[in-house]
Amino acid sequence: MSDQNPVFIPGPTNIPEVLRRACDLPTIDHRSAAFADIFVPARQAAQAVMKCETGQVVIFPATGTGAWEASISNTLSPGDRVLAARHGMFSHRWIDMCQRFGLDVEVVNETWGNPLPVAEFSRILTADTDHRIRAVLATHNETATGVTSDIAALRTALDAAGHPALLMVDGVSSIGSMDFRMEEWGVDLAVTGSQKGFMLPPGLAIVGISQKALGHIDQARLPRTFFDFRDMLNSHAAGGYPYTPPVGLLNGLACSGRMLLDEGLEAVFVRHRHIANGVRAAVDAWGLSLCAREPASRSDTVTAIMAPAGFDATAVVSRAADTYGMAFGAGLGDVAGKVFRIGHLGSLSEPMMLSGIATIEMVMADLGYPIMLGSGVAAAQRVYSRPAQRAAAA
């Protein structure tokens, strides 16, 4: 696989040169004021991107999975009941983690390709008059299926039921790329990582913690040491860490946050939606369908494309890597072999995306898919061309 090509996996994403250089630092004393000069802006930038206005942000040396574990272990106790939907690989993994911790997980099984079933959650929460459910888990953007769920509607359901459960949201493939409003949506724990919207290498687990969630920490009885919020918050308040931090990645996060905020978060979201629209136009031109069943829930960061009957979607990903040196995402879990995924988040432009669409067309033609070369590229070009954009804005 060529290291000169952009990647179109849903993360890790392409790393801009300026961020790669920002992560490339000589060793410094992480107990010195020089480290605080790096860390404080990094934490502030993460807080601004997450729109965590009155809560706290902690940043662990880990990935998004570590952020999940920290959120669970710092706020819950053995036997606590949590409500979650299984509708994709990453919602499935969060459920699995809760079960391994000995939590009582009420699972709502939903068809993969559908968003979180807010109406069913509303029914369950309304019926839970004893408030046995201590937390509600939601995957904002299910990376395995290319489906986005309505977190604002879920908060409305919680409020309408008068339910005090914590709202925990996986924003790993949405935060920094799609509209995410931690404060406005009443999210109590929001988790993400460095390797997607922040355009950095893997290695940072970022958790936004609401004031409500902070009040649960001392009562929580699940084990935690490395992931203890208390140790992190005490050290973060002084601009440091309770253990050795990943200095280069944190310097990259400070730089990445500045890039996103300088572009303007709304502009970042529009850019991702625009690139996603071009990909969706290409899929339509190919005569293929999306895993996302509802147009309103189609993700702006990853598109999962259904292979026609009789075709192995995994072969598309393998052929792209082996023959053309370009990376796309394979199907996972229940949709393994049924979908291939195009990631379109982070550092990406229209010409970069066109190269990915053109490569997928060559791969599908090689594999005998019933498509016409250039059809998807032309459809995306009609979305991306400047005259078309001006006409749409008129």
pLDDT tens track for 136-182: 999 999 999 999 999 999 999 999 999 999 999 999 999 999 999 99
Is residue 232 over pLDDT 80? Answer: yes
Amino acid at 118: V
* Span 344-371, average pLDDT: 97
Residue whose C-alpha is closest to residue 339's, from 321, 370, 316: 316
209/206 Cα distance (integer angstroms): 10
* Span 329-357, average pLDDT: 97
Establish how many alpha carbons lie within 13 A of residue 306's alpha carbon, considering only the half-sphere containing its beta carbon.
14
Cα–Cα separations (whole angstroms), residue 71 to 64, 67, 227, 373: 11, 6, 9, 47
Query: What confidence score (pLDDT) does residue 386 get?
Result: 76
* Span 334-358, average pLDDT: 97
Do residues 187 and 136 touch, judged by C-beta distance below 8 A? no
Q: What percent of the chain has pLDDT over 90?
A: 96
Its sign, for the CA torsion 276, 280, 282, 288, is positive
Query: DSSP code of 296?
Result: G
Q: Which residues pair with 106 in a beta bridge?
A: 83
pLDDT tens track for 198-212: 999 999 999 999 999
Show me where the domains of the chain are located: 17-262, 265-393
Query: What confidence score (pLDDT) does residue 168 get?
Result: 98
3-state secondary structure string, 343-388?
ECCCCCCHHHHHHHHHHHHHHHHHCCCCCCCCHHHHHHHHHHCHHH
Amino acid at 340: F
146/218 Cα distance (integer angstroms): 37
For the 265-393 domain, the top CATH level (class) is alpha beta
Amino acid at 76: L
Give how far the C-alpha of residue 112 lies from the chain's centroid of Cα atoms, to the nearest Å.
17
Is residue 394 over pLDDT 60? Answer: no
CATH number of 17-262: 3.40.50.970, 3.50.50.60, 3.30.830.10, 3.40.640.10? 3.40.640.10
Write out the two tokens for 93. 């993994």
